[in-house]
Amino acid sequence: KAGVTQTPRYLIKTRGQQVTLSCSPISGHRSVSWYQQTPGQGLQFLFEYFSETQRNKGNFPGRFSGRQFSNSRSEMNVSTLELGDSALYLCASSLVGSTNEKLFFGSGTQLSVL
Amino acid sequence: SQQGEEDPQALSIQEGENATMNCSYKTSINNLQWYRQNSGRGLVHLILIRSNEREKHSGRLRVTLDTSKKSSSLLITASRAADTASYFCATDAGVRGYQKVTFGTGTKLQVIP
């Protein structure tokens, strides 16, 4: 069974641009969560999707958005990039997103904003 | 915001020694999980302990949970160089049972061969 796939692996953007990151969960997993990881703030929860619906959202500005498609693949978008958005963005999948399930993580997208 | 805090922030030990990491959290939980992250990569699930469990083992890993103190510990016995990684505790923060796991600040473990 293929693992969680995130693309691209690395991305360099400039301030003010927007970016879209992609996540393909493990086959059969319907819940996808996104996390931002920075040295200063650690791992911060962004949002969680299940069956194309956002069920939980973290404390991030509206510039951060996401969506999930009918095949459970998910994208997250960051508009009007700021220097502070430089981070490793991780997505994780699980079967139904219950909190007693373990999360399977992708390798992440390393975003650098110049 | 971080639900959990790991202690110590960094730990350096010799191969073969035991490594103990602690996690403290703030609110009541349903489950607590431990994850490992190799540098710049995704996290790998190690073990899940439910709030009604006190201790759990998996191979060389031993996890304890004390809900009265809102703390957990991860013990890695007979450490190996391959155990070098960052270790995170994660709690569900009791939010409606849906996936909103929050992670602690992490312990960076270095195992010296």
Cβ-count burial of A60 within 10 angstroms (0-12 exposed, 13-18 middle, 19+ buried)? middle
Q: What is the pLDDT of residue A84?
A: 96
Q: Which residues of chain A have pLDDT under 50?
A: none
Distance to chain B for A18, nearest Cα, Å: 23
Distance to chain B for A96, nearest Cα, Å: 8
Q: What is the pLDDT of residue B18?
A: 98
Q: What is the pLDDT of residue A61?
A: 96
Residue B4 contacts A, CB cutoff 8 Å: no
Interface mutation vs chain A, best among B43, B99, B105, B108, most A CBs within 10 Å:
B99
Q: What is the pLDDT of residue B94?
A: 52
Taking CA atoms, A25 is separated from A75, B10, B63, B103, in Å, by 11, 32, 28, 20
Taking CA atoms, B108 is separated from A8, B8, B37, B45, B111, in Å, by 27, 8, 9, 16, 10
Tens-place pLDDT, residues B40-97: 789 999 999 999 999 999 999 999 999 999 999 999 999 999 999 999 999 986 555 5
Measured between alpha carbons, how far is B63 from B93 in angstroms, rounded to an integer? Answer: 19
